[in-house]
Chain A
Amino acid sequence: MNRLGVLIMRLEKRPERSAAMALASPFMALAMTVVTAAAIFALRGNNPFIALYVYFVEPLTALWSVEQLLVKASPLILIGAGLAVAYRANIWNIGAEGQLTAGAILAGAVPVFFTQWQSPLTLAVMIVLGIVGGMLWAAIPALLRNRFNANEILTSLMLVYVVQLMLDYLVRGPWRDPQGFNFPKSVTFADWQLLPYLTPGIHAGVLVSILLALLLGFMVSRTIKGFEITVSGLSPRAARFAGFSEKRTVLFCMMLSGGLAGLAGAFEISSVVGQLQPQISPGYGFAAIIVAFLGRLNPVGVIFAGLLLALSYIGGEAVQTALQIPDKITRVIQGILLFYILACDTLINYRVVFAAPVGGRT
């Protein structure tokens, strides 16, 4: 194997995982991303220092854009925290976008059918239905895996397309606003169908998202359930010996992450969007996958990761409007960031050795 150039570098397992590296790796990845981004900006003919400043710093210098950042981060944190727990157990729910949509559909049914109902209970029912919608949609791939051994990566993803088409049908047909000139929109929500705002720019969902992520962090690190999930992921055999049921873990993790995605859906339609329409999320469910990994599959880490990813969106828009750098740059930077974080994570458990392999049949 030492004949291949790329393979001359060799990894050696550390005796135990390096705590220092675990802490440092996200920062290393971020630093490398910034350098790469600078190179891309320079290649495009933009001044890299200006572009970097507008992308990563300027959004944090004005109150309104910090508010936008928090609102954008909220669904990412909420969904990312749930996915982090599931991924810990090696359960690959990548259909959070669909679970978000399912939650929004059930939550949105309340104002659509009971347009006049206005009481604090209205909002409470919407939120509960949002969670239930997400849970139910996530339970399908869980049951298909438990009962039929069907791969949840693919089923959960296919279900995203299905539920989006369902929403599309509803808002173009039966749930359309009768006064809406036959455009695909439901009635607009009002008063108790909307979340209260903490400041003019920040809705209550932002706070709830952060609190729930902290709560999940506590569950993962301090409770039996959290231990069960971590063990199932690290060593399915050990989990079986300990008497943990794999099927129960699958169902629990899928429904937990699905419920949180559904909650995010309910929050979105009752704050930022304010009605049902064919598209209610700009891809939060998919972006949250990056957030989960960026946060080291730790719900508390996810809070920071969510904020960072939100910054990448807001910054992407800032360089677009200020410097006419196309929005595609956002996806490129997000992809590179994820690459680097995955690469840097290797250093937690391994150290790099540049010598030729010694002995062994390679």
Chain B
Amino acid sequence: MTKYLMAAATAALMLGAASASASADALKACWVYVGPIGDFGWSYQHHQGLEAVKKEFGDKVETAYAENVTEADSEKTFERFAREGCKIIYGTSFGFMEPMLKVAKKFPDVKFEHATGYKTADNLGTYNAKFHEGRYVIGQIAAKMSKTGTAGYIVSFPIPEVVAGINAFMLGAQSVNPDFKVKIVWANTWFDPAKEADAAKVLLSQGADILVQHTDSTAPLQVAQEQGKFGFGQASDQIKFAPKAQLTAIVDNWAPHYVRSVQAVLDGSWKPAQVWDGMAEGTVSMAPFTNLPDDVVKMAAETSDAIKTGKLNPFKGPVTKQDGTVVDAVDDGMILGMNWYVKGVDDKLPQ
């Protein structure tokens, strides 16, 4: 028994020494994920960003992460990272906003970046992606490819990002076919493959012939593949799951932002900002256009380029709301807090 105790004590000492040497001059960057890396969606893509940082900076940066952190008790995770010597901490869920504010106040020397939030502090910035730009592109593709003129849209929860996505999709589709229709099903989950598959099948049975999803699993695409219909990948390129059905995917690519941000911390030039990047910066990108006729590929590529160069803004007014009122200019604040539908969407949001 004493032998083991000794071994444990030695191990403890070794660990102390190891962590001391590692943190001697490397910058420690830390990530807090709301879901499992294994979701192959939101958290998985953020983790790809961490991997990119590792690759870019090598020994200069030490990384750490915590996955499956529930919003309810995330404060203690942020505090742990701040105390464990992280110099910059990324929180990747809207629900982390208040906990991050609290911990940022307590640790003024540590830098924080919060994805998708809107509150900032002297050492807390935010970053987000203009996913709706990609949604506009797939809206156009859907309108071109649909024979019934109806898309089935599987959604998770009515948060502004999702609502803005539906609207951008619809505006894109209407730019091709003004009478385009969309049927919406709320799955009330980000993640339940069987449930998402059920929703997909129901939508296809109700006259939709193209599937759009704002949930994370690949199940709807797999259903599309099985029934010879089309769909779009979510968060990552999911072509492996549906080689014949995926037309393109809206890929979240956080790597450029994370690399820039860590570089800024290394340089000492980091400042709290409200970063909102899109296709131009590469944070939102389209997976290769597949299973499409040439003219549609051409149109989609042109639209993507126009958005990238700033020639096209999906929410450029005037936009007609569902209730018939016209908004002349949709500003960024309206998109970030969007809780209304554009004309042509047949669904009701909780008020």
Contacts and interface: CB of A to CB of B under 8 A. Distances in A.
**Touch between A and B in complex, CB under 8 Å?**
yes
A54 to B, nearest CB: 7
Interface stretch (A112-120, A221-229, A275-283): A275-283
Contacts of A188: 98
B210 to A, nearest CB: 27
A197 to B, nearest CB: 12
B159 A274 contact: no
A336 to B, nearest CB: 19
Contact of B98 (A58, A62, A275): A275
Contact of A49 (B7, B36, B68, B338): B7
Nearest to B68: A327
Interface in B145-200: 157-160, 163, 188
Contact of A57 (B12, B30, B157): B12
A174 B84 CA distance: 40
B73 interface: yes
Contact of B159 (A49, A184, A321, A326): A184
| Contact-residue bracket for chain B | 35 or more
A279 B70 contact: yes
A84 B163 CA distance: 45
Contact of B11 (A50, A71, A279, A324): A50
A321 B8 contact: no
Given A49-B7, A53-B15, A181-B337, A72 B73 contact: yes
Contacts of A327: 36, 66-68
A185 B157 CA distance: 13
Contacts of A275: 98
Nearest to A330: B68
Nearest to A272: B73
A322 B19 contact: yes
B121 to A, nearest CB: 15
A151 B288 CA distance: 54
A317 interface: yes
A183 B160 contact: yes
B79 to A, nearest CB: 7
A184 to B, nearest CB: 7
Interface string B60-93: 0000111110111101110111011000000000
Given A169-B350, A183-B159, A321-B81, A326 B67 contact: yes
Given A52-B8, A168-B188, A279-B71, A321 B337 contact: no
B89 to A, nearest CB: 11
Interface in A48-77: 49-50, 52-54, 57-58, 62, 64-65, 68, 71-72
Contact of A165 (B7, B70, B188): B188
B44 to A, nearest CB: 13
B160 A324 contact: no
A50 B14 contact: yes
A272 B76 CA distance: 9
B265 interface: no
A345 interface: no
A277 B72 CA distance: 8
A54 B13 CA distance: 11
A182 interface: yes
A346 interface: no
B95 interface: yes
A47 interface: yes
A10 interface: no
B205 interface: no
A279 B200 CA distance: 26
A72 B76 contact: yes
A103 to B, nearest CB: 14
B183 to A, nearest CB: 21
A272 B159 CA distance: 23
Interface of B: 7-8, 10-12, 14-15, 19, 30, 36, 64-68, 70-73, 75-77, 79-81, 83-84, 94-95, 98, 118, 157-160, 163, 188, 336-339, 350-351
Interface of A: 47, 49-50, 52-54, 57-58, 62, 64-65, 68, 71-72, 165, 168-169, 172-174, 181-185, 188, 268, 272-275, 277-283, 314, 317-318, 320-322, 324, 326-327
28 contacts: A47-B11, A50-B14, A52-B8, A53-B15, A58-B12, A64-B79, A168-B157, A169-B350, A172-B158, A173-B350, A173-B351, A174-B351, A182-B337, A182-B339, A183-B159, A185-B95, A268-B72, A272-B73, A273-B72, A274-B98, A277-B72, A279-B72, A281-B72, A321-B65, A321-B80, A321-B84, A327-B36, A327-B68
